[in-house]
Chain A
Amino acid sequence: MTVKIVTDSTSDITSRLAQELGVTVVPLTVFFGHESFQDRVNISTDEFYRRLSQESIYPTTTQPAPGLFAEAYQNLLKGNNEILVLSLSGRLSGTFRSAVNAVGMVEGKGRIEVIDTSLTAMSLGLTVISAAKMAAQPGMTLRQLTENVKAKLPHTSTLVAFDTLKYLAKGGRIGKAQGLLGSLLAVKPVLTLKDGEVAPMTRLRSMSAASDYLYNHIANMPKVEALAVEHATTPHEADILVARLGKIFPKENIYRSVLSPVLGTYMGPNILAVSFIESK
C-alpha cells in the first residue's frame, strides 16, 4: 500500500515530472468567452499568453468539478492506495472544497486526506514534489506523510514580481495587496502568499530591480531546501535569475516552470516568480 499524491493544475509541475513522480494532476478550467479549456491539458501556456495579449476579453476560471476529483480518487483507490490531496489555497479558489466534496463520492473512508496548503504556483509544486518523494519512502503511512507535509507548509512560499496589478484586481484575488492599487507612479509590486491570500511585500521601479529583490530575498535565507523559478512571458529574465541563484543553490536542483493559464488569468504577462521551501 502506497500513498499517492493528487494535486491541481495550479501546482505548475510539468506533465513529465508528474508522471515520473506518479502524481495525478486535476485541471482547473479557463474560459475565453464561451470557449473553455482544461488548464495545461488542452491549452498550452504559450497559447494562453498569446491570446491574453491579443484578445480584448479577459479570461475567467473555475475550479474542477468534484466529479473530476472523484474520478481520480476512484482510479487510485483501485490500486489499493491511500491518497493525499494537496490543493491550492481555499481562499483563492473553490478547488479545495471540490476536492473535499469528492471524498464523499467514493468508498475511500480513512484512506483519503485533503490538505488546503494555503499555497499555489510552484510553492504548491515544490510541496507536491517533496510529498511525492517522501511517499516513496518504504513504510510511509498516510498519517505520517500528512504530518510531514503540514510541518513544511509554514516554511514554504512564493514571491511574485508583477508588471501590473490589474489582473489580480479584476479577478478579485488581490487580497491584502489592495492598498497598492492606484499608484500614480509606474512600479513593479512584489507580492507573496500569507495565510492563503495575496499580501504585499514591497515595490520596485523596474523588473530588473525586482529580480534583484527576489534574488536577495533567497540569498538572505539561512538554509533553503527546495527552490523554483517561474515566468509567464519572459523566459530570458527568468533564466538570468536562475543563473544568479545557481551560485548559491545547486543549479541542477532549481525547478524551472511556467505559470499556468489559470494563474496567468490573475497575474497577467511579464511575471517573475520564485518559490522556496526553507529548512528549519
Chain B
Amino acid sequence: MKQSNSINGTEFRDMFAAATTWLEKSASDIDALNVFPVPDGDTGTNMLLTMRSTVEEGFKVTDTSVSAIAQAMANGALMGARGNSGVILSQIWSGLAQGLCDKETFNGKDLANALEQASETAYKGLSNPVEGTILTVMKDVSKASQKQAAKNGAGGDVLSVMEAAVNAASESVANTPTLLPVLKDAGVVDAGGQGLFTLLDGALRFMRGEAELMRFRKPQLVESNVPMTPITVTAPEKVGADEIPFGYCTEFLLKGKELEPEKLKRRLVKRGQSLIVVGDDTTVRVHVHTIDPGAIIHFATTLGTVHSVSIRNMDEQHQDFLEMQKSRTPVADIEIVAVAAGDGLSDVFTSLGVAAVIPGGQTMNPSTKDLLQAVNSLRSDKVIILPNNKNIVLTAEKVQSLTEKHVHVVPSRTIPEGIAALLSFDYEADFDANTRIMTEALSSVKTVEITRAVRATQFNGFAIKKKQAIGLLDGTIVAVADEPLDVLRTTLTKAGLKKAEVVTLYYGEDTDEKEAQQAKDEIASKYHNLQVEVVRGGQPHYNFIGSVE
C-alpha cells in the first residue's frame, strides 16, 4: 500500500492485524512501564489481548466495507476489553467505528474525522479523565491528523495523515511525564500511551509495505522528554506466524522442578499461536491458542503437575469456562459475582455466598466478555459485580450496557474491600439499597498488600530495588524491605492496629503457611485485643493481602 486515497475494510483490518502483531513484540516491555512496580495491571498484555479480540471479530465479517469491519472490530474490542487500558482502547475503537460508519472505503479526511471521533468517545467514556495518559496521546493524534488532512486539501491521501498521527503520538508519549508527576518520579512514560503509539506505528509500517521487515524488527519504546534513570527492559518474546482466529484459548499453571520456561516456550511455539510462557523453574503459567489443547496439556503433564486449567472455545457463543457452585439457598434473588485471582480466595468468596467467581486470568484482569458471561449464566436478573481490583472497575461497568439483566457494580478496588462489601449484604434490603450499603462498606476496611517489585524504581521517597518486598497500604507504597515478613510488619504498624478489631491475612501461592502463622503470632502477641485470622488465598504475585478493620 503506497500512496492511497482510498482504503477498504479488508485493508483496514489487515493494517491493524499487523499492528497487533507489532504490539505483541513489545507487550512485556510496556508491562514494565507500569508506574507501580507491582505485578498486575499489565497494560501491554491487556492492550494486546484486547486487540486480539478486536482483530478476531474483524476477520469474521464477509462484508468488505470499512463500516462493517470497523463496527465488528469495535464489538470485538468491547467484548475483549481487559483492564482499564483495554476499556479505553475499546472506547477508541467505538469512536473509530462511529466515524467510519456508512463508508465503503475511507480517505485521509475520513481517517482524521474518525480519529477525532475516537478521541471524543474515549474522553466521554471516563468520569475522571486524566491528562498525561493514553487520552492525551489520542487527543494529540486527532489534532495532528486533522491538521494534515486540511493541508492535503481535496487530495485525501491517507498515508500522510497516518504519518502525522504517528509522529504526534510519539511526541505526545514523550511528553507524558511532564503532564503526570507520578510518571516523572517513576522514570517512565505512560504505558497506555506507549501502547497506542505502538499500534499506530505498526499500522503505518504495514501501510508503507514494510510487513516483511516488521517480522525481523522490534518496536521502539518512546523515550521520555524528562531526564530519568534508565530502566532495564526484559528480553523480547518471539512471535509465532499469522493468527488463526479459531481454536481453543488454553491456559494452565505448570508446577514442577527445573521447568526451564525458555526451553518450554521453544517447544510449544510450533504448537499454537499467541504463546505466552512466564514463570521460573518451579512454576510456569502457559497461555496459547491451539486447535489441539489436549495434546498440549498432555505434554505438560509429562513435565510436572498441571493446575487451574482453562480451555475456552474461542468462537463459541455459549462458552462455559467458569466453575460455579450451585447456590445453597436463593439469595433474596440478588446474585453476586466476584473477581478473584487465587484458588483460596475463590473458595472464600464462594463460601460467603457469591454465585460465581471469575478468575483474574493471566494478567489478573478478565475481559468484558468474561464478566458478561458470568452475569448471564446466573439464574437471577439482578446481579452485583465486585471487581476487587481497581483495574477491573471500568470493565465491570461496561457490562450493564451489554445485557438485559440489571447489573450494579460495587467498585471494590481490592480483595478486602470486596469481602467487606460482601459481608455487609443485607438480606432484607432491595437491589438499590444493597448496592448503596455495600458501596458504603468499602471504606470500612484498610487494605495491605505485600509483593515483590517487578523493577527498580523510586517512589514516595523510597529507593526500591528489583525483587525487593514492598508494602502497600490502600494502594500507596509505605514500606520496603528485603523480606515479605519484615515489610508486612512495618506496613501493619502504619495501618492503625491499635484501633482495629480484626486483621485477616490472606497468604499467596508464594508464601508458606508457616510464615503466615508466624506473622499472626507476632501481631496477636503485640496487640492483645485484636482478632487475627490467617486464610490461604493462593493468589499469585502478592505474598500477603491483609484487611484491617
Interface contacts (Cβ under 8 Å), in number, total: 57
Given contacts A178-B329, A208-B501, contact A187 B423 (CB under 8 A): yes
CB distance A180 to B353 under 8 Å?
yes
B425 near A184: Cβ-Cβ < 8 Å: no
With an 8 A cutoff between CB atoms, is B533 at the interface?
Answer: yes
A183 and B419 CA atoms in complex are apart in Å by 12
Minimum CB–CB distance from A72 to chain B (whole Å) comes to 36
Minimal beta-carbon separation of A220 from chain B (angstroms): 12
Contact call A205/B549, Cβ cutoff below 8 A:
yes
CB distance from A66 to the nearest CB of B (A): 34
The 8 Å CB contact of A182, one of B351, B424, B501, B549, is B351
Minimum C-beta distance from B545 to chain A (A): 13
Q: Which residues of B contact A202 (CB under 8 A)?
A: 423-427
* Contact partners of A176 in chain B: CB under 8 A: 329
The answer to whether A166 has its CB under 8 Å from any CB of chain B is: no
Instruction: Say yes or no: B533 contacts A185, CB within 8 Å.
Output: yes
How far is the CB of A212 from the nearest CB of chain B, in Å?
A: 11
Whether B328 pairs with A185 at a CB distance below 8 angstroms is: no
B353 contacts across to A, CB distance below 8 A? 179-180
Residues of A within 8 A of B549 (CB): 205
Instruction: List chain A residues, Cβ under 8 A from B424.
Output: 202-203
B427 near A199 with CB under 8 A, answer yes
Contacts of A180 in B (CB 8 A): 353
**Which A residues, 139 to 182, have Cβ-Cβ distances below 8 Å to chain B?**
176, 178-182
A204: interface (CB < 8 Å): yes
Contact A186 B328 (CB under 8 A): no
Q: Residues of B within 8 Å of A, CB-based: how many? A: 23
Asked if A206 lies at the interface with its beta carbon under 8 angstroms from chain B, I say yes
Which residues of chain B (415-444) have a CB below 8 Å from chain A?
419, 423-428
B352 touches A178 (CB 8 A): no
Which residues on B sit within 8 Å (CB–CB) of A182?
351
Contact (Cβ within 8 A) A184 B331:
no
The answer for the CA separation of A209 and B329 in the assembled complex, in Å, is 25
Among residues 517 to 540 in chain B, which have CB atoms less than 8 Å away from a CB atom of chain A?
531, 533, 535
In the complex, A208 Cα to B499 Cα: how many Å?
Answer: 13
Binary flags per residue of A187-210, CB closer than 8 Å to B gives 1, else 0? 100001000000111111110110
Decide if B419 touches A185 in the complex (CB within 8 Å): yes
How many angstroms from the CA of A203 to the CA of B533 in the assembled complex?
16
CA distance A181 to B424 in the complex (A): 16
Question: Is A209 a contact partner of B501 (Cβ separation < 8 A)?
Answer: yes
Q: How far is the CA of A201 from the CA of B348 in the complex (A)?
A: 20
A184's partner among B351, B423, B502 (CB-CB below 8 A) is: B351
A179–B355 Cα distance when bound, in Å, is: 11
A199–B353 Cα gap in the complex (Å)?
Answer: 15
Q: Out of A181, A186, A201, name the residue touching B531 (CB < 8 Å).
A: A186
CB distance from A65 to the nearest CB of B (A): 34
* Closest residue on chain A to residue B441 by CB atoms: A202
Q: Are A184 and B427 in contact (CB under 8 A)?
A: no
B474 within 8 A of A: no
| B423:A205 contact, CB within 8 angstroms | yes
How far does the Cβ of A270 sit from chain B's closest Cβ, in whole Å?
A: 13
Smallest CB separation, B548 vs chain A (Å) = 11
* Complex: chain B residue closest to A205, CB-CB: B502
Q: Which residue of A lies closest to B427 (CB)?
A: A200
Contact in complex: A206, B423 (CB < 8 Å): no
Report whether A184 and B428 are in contact in the complex, using a CB–CB cutoff of 8 Å: no
Q: Write the residues of chain A forming the contact surface with B, with a CB cutoff of 8 angstroms.
A: 176, 178-187, 192, 199-206, 208-209
Q: Which 7 A-B pairs have the closest CB atoms?
A: A179-B329, A184-B351, A200-B427, A203-B423, A205-B502, A206-B501, A179-B328
